[in-house]
């Protein structure tokens, strides 16, 4: 991945889910729900921190909740913050979820749209064929909606291994967004994401105060090797 001159070396990438005041999330999704009234002050603080540290702030959201277009996108556009939305395409049009027109509206605002599979499956627990089919279906659906290539991806549930990374990079994905914390190195394709949820606020704010150093850079550069070693050892 080539980095443009003047691009910050480090990024703080934040991951969100449902931000509705009355959750559209259900069952185990509720563990990642945070009302926008609680999330907005934290996002404001993170934006102020990024301006102070010089670290680029990127906000991402998973699972195609209505709050992406109703609440998060206006905040991003108003503050000039980059946003990425990872969409399980079979969720589109369900109650409390985005529609095809919403995806086009986010794209028109300059937001990035990324692959999150079609059916929101745990790619580490299904066969290679099922995993590849889920990625291809979700990608093809998004490219059909947007009329352009889609080359960023986030594994559902944040679960992946070396096999999955190898397939995703072979399929031409430019970035793979994880659910593992830390600062991201702009030049490295595997992106740590700091998930904002109730109970995790202080940990995220602590990352937001950091400017990034050799440790952060080395950790990012060695991420692929670390994943490969863990996969070889049978570790999650």
List, for residues 184-201, the tens digit of each pLDDT value. 999 999 999 999 999 999
Reported as type and span, the H/E element at residue 73 is helix 73-79
Band of residue 236 on the pLDDT scale cut at 50, 70, 90: confident
What pLDDT, on a 0 to 100 scale, did the predictor assign at position 142? 98
pTM: 0.94
What pLDDT, on a 0 to 100 scale, did the predictor assign at position 3? 39
- Is the pLDDT at 5 greater than 90? The verdict is no
- Is the pLDDT at 2 greater than 50? The verdict is no
- Is the pLDDT at 4 greater than 70? The verdict is no
| Per-residue exposure over 137-173, b if at least 16 CB sit within 10 Å of its own CB, e if not | bbbebbeebeeeebebbbbbeeebbbebbebbeeeeb
HEC string of 76-144 equals HHHHCCEEEEEECHHHCCCCCECCHHHHHHHHHCCCEEEECCCCCCCHHHCCHHHHHHHHHHHHHHHHH
> Averaged over 119-129, what is the pLDDT?
97
What pLDDT, on a 0 to 100 scale, did the predictor assign at position 180? 94
For residues 199 and 183, the answer to whether their CB atoms sit within 8 Å is no
Q: What is the percentage of the chain residues whose pLDDT exceeds 70? A: 97
CA distance 174 to 177: 10
Q: What is the tens place of the pLDDT at every residue in 31-48?
A: 999 999 999 999 999 999
What pLDDT, on a 0 to 100 scale, did the predictor assign at position 6? 63
Which is more confident, 123 or 4? 123
Band of residue 234 on the pLDDT scale cut at 50, 70, 90: confident
Q: What is the tens place of the pLDDT at every residue in 139-165?
A: 999 999 999 999 999 999 999 999 999
Q: What is the mean pLDDT of the chain?
A: 95
> Averaged over 228-235, what is the pLDDT?
85
Domains of the chain and CATH, by start: 10-233 (3.20.20.370)
């Amino acid at each position: 991945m080539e980095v443009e001159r003047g691009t910050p070396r480090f990024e703080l990438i934040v991951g969100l889910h449902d931000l509705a005041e009355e959750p559209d999330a259900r069952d185990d999704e509720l563990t990642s729900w945070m009302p926008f009234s609680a999330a907005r002050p934290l996002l404001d603080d993170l934006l102020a921190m990024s301006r102070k540290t010089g670290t680029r702030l990127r906000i991402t959201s998973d699972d195609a909740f209505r709050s992406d277009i109703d609440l998060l996108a206006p905040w991003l556009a108003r503050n000039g913050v980059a946003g990425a939305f990872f969409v399980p395409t079979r969720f589109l049009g369900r109650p409390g979820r985005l529609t095809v027109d919403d995806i086009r509206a986010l794209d028109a605002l300059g937001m990035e749209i990324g692959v999150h599979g079609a059916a929101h499956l745990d790619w580490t627990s299904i066969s290679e064929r099922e995993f590849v089919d889920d990625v291809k279906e979700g990608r093809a659906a998004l490219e059909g909606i947007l009329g352009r290539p889609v080359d960023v991806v986030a594994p559902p549930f944040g679960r992946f291994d070396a096999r999955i990374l190898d397939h995703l990079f072979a399929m031409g994905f430019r970035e793979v967004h994880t659910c593992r914390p830390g600062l991201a190195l702009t030049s490295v394709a595997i992106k740590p994401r700091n998930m904002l949820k109730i109970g995790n606020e202080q940990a995220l704010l602590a990352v937001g105060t950091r400017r990034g150093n050799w440790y952060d850079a080395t950790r990012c550069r060695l991420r692929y090797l670390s994943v490969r070693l863990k996969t070889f050892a049978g570790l999650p």
